[in-house]
Amino acid sequence: MADEKSANDQTNASARDDETDVSRREMLKATAGALLAVPLLNADGMATALQTKAPLFFTPAEFALVDELTEIIIPADEHSPGARAARAAEYIDYRLSESFTDEPKKRWREGLKLVDEISQQMHGKTFMQAAPEERIAVVSRIAGNEENPQKPEEKFFVELKRRTAHAYYTSKIGIHTELEYKGNTYLKEFVGEDAKK
């Protein structure tokens, strides 16, 4: 351990057993995380488009498609913003851009193509050209066999959803706003019921 750090730590010796102080300060630190999620919303509490820099792996058109798909899977509702506000597509793009093999990249590129093809078959237009209800109809079709996916588009949906759920529920919005997670903070006492109840 660095000397500088230990010297600094020793100056805090008096605070060591001051539990109230510890938990109060740590509590503030934890709630700061929840508060930071707020600026991602506009006045109506609805998600706004957030992508500012160029995607790392997807083309801009693919990125827009992924962004829309993630928002359909986990949309904004009255309780919290959705996958778009949580920048799920940005995280998926980053992780795909550095994937160790080309396999996932290929799967995603082909999967997105299939989404557009199915949209063309169903509605005579690409996914992004389709109306909101038409888009949901396309996703319903590829999500139809989620527990036992057979067709390539069904398999793609499982991966799309897994990545979306992972990205969303590990984001600030997912953890703090949507799930209102209470942990990862310093407590004075364990929560829960007394074991002898």
Partner 1 sequence: MILFKLSAPQAGEVDLGKVYDAVVVGSGAAGGMAAHTLTARGMKVLLLEAGRKLDIDNELKSTEWPYEHPRRGEMPPDRHAISFNEYTIRQPPYAANSPYKNVHSYVQAWGGSDYSKNIVVDEKDHPYTGTNYAWVRARLLGGKTNIWGRLALRLSDYDFKAKSRDGYGEDWPISYKDIAPYYDKVDLLLGISGVKENLPYLPDSIFQRPIRLTDSEIKLRNGLAKMGRVLTPYRAGVATEKLAHNKYRNRCYGRGACNRRAGGCDIHAAFDSPTGLIYPAMETGNLTLRTNATVSEVLVDSNTGRARGVAFIDTETGRTYEAKAKVVILAASTLESARLMLLSKSRQHPNGIGNSSGHVGHNFCEHIMGPGVTGLVKDRVGKPRTLDDGRPGSFYVPRFRNLAERHPDFIRGYGFEGGSGTTMFPGEAISMPGFGKGYKKTVRDYAGAFIEMGAFGEVLARYENYVDIDPEVKDRWGIPVLRFHYKFGDNEKKMATDMAESAKEMFEAAGIEILDVNRRVLTEGWSIHELGTARMGSDLKTSVLNQFQQSHDVKNLFVVDGSSHVNAACQNPTWTIMALCWRSCDYLADQLKKGDL
| Residue whose CB is less far from partner 1, 124 or 131 | 131
Give the tokens for residue 60.
């801009």
CB 65 within 8 A of CB 112: yes
CB 150 within 8 A of CB 59: no
Q: Annotate each residue in 166-185 with x if it binds partner 1 (CB under 8 A) or - if it does not, as one string.
A: xxxxxxx--x--xxxxxxxx
CA-based torsion, 51, 53, 56, 57: positive or negative: positive
| Residue whose CB is less far from partner 1, 73 or 116 | 73
CB 138 within 8 A of CB 131: no
Angle 121-65-93 from CA coordinates, rounded to 5°? 135
CA nearest neighbour of 140 among 165, 115, 117: 115
| Residue whose CB is less far from partner 1, 26 or 124 | 26
- How many residues lie near partner 1 (CB under 8 A)? 68
State the nearest-atom distance from the C-beta of 101 to partner 1, in Å: 8
State the nearest-atom distance from the C-beta of 171 to partner 1, in Å: 5
State the nearest-atom distance from the C-beta of 125 to partner 1, in Å: 21
Question: What is the 3 state secondary structure string of 70-135?
Answer: HHHHCCCCCCCCCCCCCCHHHHHHHHHHCCCCCHHHHHHHHHHHHHHHHHHHHHCCCCCCCCHHHH
Q: Annotate each residue in 38-77 with x if it binds partner 1 (CB under 8 A) or - if it does not, as one string.
A: ----------------------------------xxxx-x
Binding site for partner 1 (CB under 8 A): 1-3, 5-6, 9-10, 12-13, 15-17, 19, 22-23, 25-26, 29, 33, 72-75, 77, 79, 82, 91, 94-95, 98-101, 136, 139, 143, 146-147, 161-162, 165-172, 175, 178-187, 189-197
